Structure 1
Amino acid sequence: MEKDNKVYHILIIEDNIGDQILIKEYLEEHILEPKFTSASTFTAAKEFLVNSDLSFDIILLDLSLPDKSGEHLIQTMLQLAAEVPVVILTGYTDMPLSIRSLHLGISDYLLKDDLTSFSLYKSLLYNIQKKKYLLDLKKSEKRYSDLFHLSPLPMWVCDVENHHFLDVNDAAIQQYGYSHAEFMGMKFQDIENKPRESNALISNPLNGQVSGIREGRHRLKNGTIIDVETTSNELLYNAKKSLVTLVNNVTEKNIYIKAVEEQNAKLKEIAWIQSHIVRAPLARIMGIVNLLEVDENELNEEQLFLFKGLINSAHELDEIIKDISSKTAKADI
Structure 2
Amino acid sequence: MTEILAPTEKLTILIIEDNHGDFVLIEDYLLEKFTDITIVHCTDYAHSANYLKHTTETLSLILLDLNLPDMQGVPLINEVLACNHEVPVIVLTGYSDLSMAKKSLQIGVSDYLVKDEINPMILYKTIIFAINRSNYINQIEHEKRNYENLFNFNPQPTWLLDAKSLNIINANLAAQNKYGLSLSDFQKLSFVELHPKEEQQHIKNKLISKEEPFNNKHFTHLLSDGKEIKVEICFQEITGTKDHKLIVQSNDISESLQHISTIENQNATFRDIAWTQSHVVRAPLSRILGIVNLLEEQPDNFDKIAFWLKQLKTSTNEMDAIVKKIVRETNQFEQD
TM-score by length of 2: 0.73
Correspondence list, 1:73-88, <5 A = 73-88=76-91
Do residues 46 (structure 1) and 45 (structure 2) align?
A: no
Equivalenced residue count is: 299
Q: How many Å apart are 1:131 and its aligned residue?
A: 2.5
Which ranges of 4 or more aligned residues in structure 1 deviate by more than 6 Å? 208-213, 283-294
Q: How many Å apart are 1:48 and its aligned residue?
A: 2.6
Do residues 16 (structure 1) and 3 (structure 2) align?
A: no
2:206–2:212: 8 Å Cα contact kept in structure 1? no
Match of 2:28 among 22, 25, 28: 25
2:205–2:211: 8 Å Cα contact kept in structure 1? no
Q: What secondary structure sits across from 2:68 in the alignment?
A: coil
Indicate the residue corresponding to 1:160 in structure 2: 163
Distance 2:20 2:236 in 1: 58
Do residues 195 (structure 1) and 211 (structure 2) align?
A: no
Q: How many Å apart are 1:226 and its aligned residue?
A: 1.3
- CA deviation profile, 1:123-166 (whole Å, cap 9, x unmatched): 22222233233333333333333333344432222211101111
- CA deviation profile, 1:87-109 (whole Å, cap 9, x unmatched): 01223110111111111111111
Q: 1:20 to 1:175 in 2, by over 3 A?
A: same
1:211–1:233: 8 Å Cα contact kept in structure 2? no
TM-score by length of 1: 0.74
2:192–2:200: 8 Å Cα contact kept in structure 1? no
Indicate the residue corresponding to 1:100 in structure 2: 103
Q: What secondary structure sits across from 2:160 in the alignment?
A: strand
Q: How many Å apart are 1:33 and its aligned residue?
A: 1.6
Distance 1:94 1:252 in 2: 68
1:28–1:34: 8 Å Cα contact kept in structure 2? yes
Distance 2:123 2:145 in 1: 33
Q: 1:86 to 1:227 in 2, by over 3 A?
A: same
Distance 2:18 2:95 in 1: 15
Indicate the residue corresponding to 2:59 in structure 1: 56
Indicate the residue corresponding to 2:261 in structure 1: 258
- CA deviation profile, 1:207-236 (whole Å, cap 9, x unmatched): 387889762111223332211122323336
Which stretches in structure 1 are left out of the alignment for 5+ residues? Answer: 295-333
Match of 1:222 among 198, 220, 225: 225
- CA deviation profile, 1:270-294 (whole Å, cap 9, x unmatched): 3234334444676788799999997
Q: Which structure shows the bigger proportion of residues in helix conformation? A: 2
Q: How many Å apart are 1:53 and its aligned residue?
A: 4.1
Which stretches in structure 2 are left out of the alignment for 5+ residues? Answer: 1-5, 298-336
Indicate the residue corresponding to 2:92 in structure 1: 89
